[in-house]
Amino acid sequence: MRVLQPEDAHMYVTLLDQLERESEFLLFEPGERNMTEEQARSMIQAFSQQENSAVWGEERNGELVGHVTCIGGRAHRERHAIKLIAGVQEAYQGQGIAGGLFERAIEWARDSSIVRMELTVMVHNERAIQLYKKYGFEVEGVKRKSLKVSGDWVDEYVMSLILS
């Protein structure tokens, strides 16, 4: 597991595309994100210059198979908080990759004086909810009719981990 660098942009975009093809639990539908390698390179470069943003990836056989992306608040009043986005390819789930990524993100957040980590998760994504709870995240509330997936309304939990 390592912090991604701008030269990893191709692998990052490829991973996001793969995850969006495999799962209905993500925000973007397959082909909707349209992130270019240059956009990913710019984002990763910008994160490397911010104290409260980072992206980690897990590689297997030269392929990026999982990530956790931490996006820090930009306004002074929210720089202590980060939003998390994570995913692991279906073929690599159940191997501890997501847990390792979350452990690393939490360790980094503590070292970076982050106070609040937050994420959203579809209320029926029980596997992810259990993972987040395992690492101390708690449900703060419900975003009703937050998303429309395959024609159906889906609620999301807002979950957070307060570090200090």
Query: What CATH number did the domain enclosing 61 receive?
Result: 3.40.630.30
In a domain, 111, yes or no: yes
In a domain, 137, yes or no: no
Residue 105 domain boundaries: 2-115
How many structural domains compose the chain?
A: 1
In a domain, 30, yes or no: yes
In a domain, 142, yes or no: no
Pairing between β-strand 152-162 and β-strand 116-122 as defined by DSSP bridges:
antiparallel
In a domain, 19, yes or no: yes
In a domain, 133, yes or no: no
DSSP states of the chain = -EE--GGGHHHHHHHHHHHHHH-SSSSSPTTTS---HHHHHHHHHHHHT-TT-EEEEEEETTEEEEEEEEEE--SGGGTTEEEEEEEE-GGGTTSSHHHHHHHHHHHHHHHTT--EEEEEEETT-HHHHHHHHHTT-EEEEEEEEEEEETTEEEEEEEEEEE--
pLDDT tens for 23-80 read 999 988 888 888 999 999 999 999 999 999 999 999 999 999 999 999 999 899 999 9
Average pLDDT score over residue span 86-106:
96
In a domain, 101, yes or no: yes
In a domain, 106, yes or no: yes
pLDDT tens for 105-153 read 999 999 999 999 999 999 999 999 999 999 999 999 999 999 999 999 9
pTM recorded for the entire structure = 0.92
